[in-house]
Every structure is written in structure tokens, then in C-alpha cells.
């Protein structure tokens, strides 16, 4: 099966808004931030991506294209 | 100098953390919140299992952690290396603990990582610099 195309971080965000993604063949910049990757799986549900992770090995990347709602605070 | 630019209007600072697997040849990049209040770096249990660190191993030490919602205990292990904001730490202690999916992250980048460097955050401009101390 043909591989998905290598997409930039910006393209990934546009094509898969508010989703969790599992990527392979990831390129990082000097600050360890994702620059490009090839989408293996995408979902609104993080658990689905964690399950997809079990089917793959090697050098992978999990990425979330959403953001917290503006009226939501974060305390860990 | 290594620098990350982030959205200063965001409610938390999210960066990418690259974790090396227990066996050579595997790694995983995950989104984490930069959290200077967290003593240790925290990574989701599924992620640690995928990287071969076996968080369910009963021989692992368990760390008492105080969270916003109470006191919990989480397995503690050591990853071969962790890299974020262009800086790498070998043999980093990590807690295996899940954060809610709504957080949009798979962990926290805490002081166990950050203490090795000089960290500068320019909140108004959305700039993080992480450098080795001289």
C-alpha cells in the first residue's frame, strides 16, 4: 500500500483540525519541534491514537492539532 | 541557543518531547506542557509501555504525587534519554501517569528535566530559551 504524503506541521493542522495524530518519518527542527510527518492515524479520540500506536514501531510522533477552549484554565 | 516560539495567548505552554525507547531504534515525540511546578517529568502510561518501559512492572518504585485533585501514587522509571527545546538529558526519571485527553497533551515537562538548564520564558512575546549554564 502506498504511504501517505509527507506533510508540513501547518498542512497537518489544516487537513486534520482538532485531532490527535500518529505520524511516522517525522522531521524535527533544532528545537525538537515537529516540522513534517507522514500520517498513520488520526482521530478526535486520544485513546484511539494510543491504540494505533501499539500496531507500529520505530521512530514515531504523536501530535495534537487542537487547542484548549479560550474559557478553559489549566491546573495540573 | 535553542528557542521555541509559542502562542502567548494560549492557556498553557505546549512543547514537543522526544523520548528514546528502552531498546535502541525506537523513539516517540509527544506533546507535553512545560510545567515548572511539576517536580518530575510525567508521561502517559500507554506511551511508556509502547517505548518498552513496562509501567505495570511491580518492581518499579512508586512515587507519591500531589496533584490539583489530591494525592496519588504513580510508577517511576528512567528513560534512556529525553530531548525538548533542543536540549537532551540522559537517564531522565519519569513518572508514568495519565492526564485527561482534554488537556491536549501526553505529559508534563517538569523540573527533573528543566533543572539541567537555564530557562528563560518571555511570556509577553511567547519565546522560550533553554540553554546550558556556563
**Closest Cα in chain A to B65:** A76
A45 in any annotated domain: yes
Give residue-wise pLDDT tens across range B112-122: 999 999 999 99
Interatomic CA distance for residues B85 and A22, integer angstroms:
21
Inter-chain touch A58–B26, beta carbons under 8 Å: yes
Question: Quick check: is A70 in a domain?
Answer: no
Largest Cα–Cα separation, chain B: 45
Going by C-alpha positions, the residue among B10, A34, A71 that lies closest to residue A59 is A34
The number of angstroms, rounded, from the C-alpha of B98 to the middle of its chain's C-alpha atoms is: 12
B108 in contact with chain A, both atoms CB, cutoff 8 A: yes
The pair phi, psi for residue B95, each rounded to 5°, is: -95, 140
Per DSSP, the residues of B33-85 read: EE-TT-SSEEE-HHHHHHTT--TT-TTSEEEEEEETTEEEEEEEEEEEEEEET
- The answer to whether the Cβ–Cβ distance between A76 and B47 falls below 8 Å is no
**Host domain of residue A56:** 6-64
Q: What is the pLDDT of residues B60-81, one digit of tens each?
A: 888 888 877 788 889 999 999 9
Is a pLDDT exceeding 90 seen at residue B25?
Answer: no
Given this model, what pLDDT does residue B61 score? 86
Residue B68: the pLDDT is 74
The beta-carbon neighbor of B67 closest among A45, A61, A76 is: A76
Q: Is A74 part of a structural domain of the chain? A: no
Q: Which of A43, A66, A69, A70 minimizes the C-alpha distance to B31?
A: A66
Q: Would you state the cell numbers that stand for residue B59, as one nine-digit string? A: 518492581
> Could you tell me the mean pLDDT of each successive run of 10 residues in chain A, 76 residues long?
90 97 97 97 96 94 88 70
User: Alpha-carbon distance B93 to B14, whole Å?
Assistant: 20
pLDDT attached to residue A28: 97
Q: What is the pLDDT of residue A39?
A: 97
- ipTM of the prediction: 0.93
Instruction: Identify which of A26, A33, A67 has the shortest CB distance to residue B4.
Output: A33
What's domain B2-132's architecture?
Answer: Beta Barrel (2.40)
Identify whether A17 is part of a domain.
yes
Best residue in B4, B5, B7, B11 to probe A by mutation, most A CBs within 10 Å? Answer: B11
Is residue A75 one of the residues assigned to a domain? no
Q: So where are chain B's domains?
A: 2-132
Instruction: Determine, yes or no, domain membership for A19.
Output: yes
Q: How far is CA B21 from CA A54, A70, B25, B94, in A?
A: 14, 35, 7, 13
Domain membership flag for residue A23: yes
Tell me if B89 sits within 8 A of B82, measured CB to CB.
yes
The total number of structural domains in chain A stands at 1
Amino acid at each position: 500500500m502506498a504511504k501517505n504524503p509527507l506533510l508540513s506541521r501547518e498542512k497537518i493542522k489544516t487537513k486534520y483540525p482538532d485531532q490527535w495524530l500518529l505520524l511516522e518519518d517525522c522531521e524535527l527542527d533544532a528545537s525538537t519541534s515537529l516540522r513534517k510527518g507522514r500520517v498513520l492515524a488520526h482521530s478526535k479520540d486520544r485513546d484511539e491514537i494510543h491504540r494505533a500506536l501499539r500496531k507500529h514501531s520505530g521512530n514515531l510522533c504523536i501530535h495534537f492539532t487542537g487547542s484548549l477552549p479560550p474559557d478553559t484554565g489549566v491546573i495540573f | 541557543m535553542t528557542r521555541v516560539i509559542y502562542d502567548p495567548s494560549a492557556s498553557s505552554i505546549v512543547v514537543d518531547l522526544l523520548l528514546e525507547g528502552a531498546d535502541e531504534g525506537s523513539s516517540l515525540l509527544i506533546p507535553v506542557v512545560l510545567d515548572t511546578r511539576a517536580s518530575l517529568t510525567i508521561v502517559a502510561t500507554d506511551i511508556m509501555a509502547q517505548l518498552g518501559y513496562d509501567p505495570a512492572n511491580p518492581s518499579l518504585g512508586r512515587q507519591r504525587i500531589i496533584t490539583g485533585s489530591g494525592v496519588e501514587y504513580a510508577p517511576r522509571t528512567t528513560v534512556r534519554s529525553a530531548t525538548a527545546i533542543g536540549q537532551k538529558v540522559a537517564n531522565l526519571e519519569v513518572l508514568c501517569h495519565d492526564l485527561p485527553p482534554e488537556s491536549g497533551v501526553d505529559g508534563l515537562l517538569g523540573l527533573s528535566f528543566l533543572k539541567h538548564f537555564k530557562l528563560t520564558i518571555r511570556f509577553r512575546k511567547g519565546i522560550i530559551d533553554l540553554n546550558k549554564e556556563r
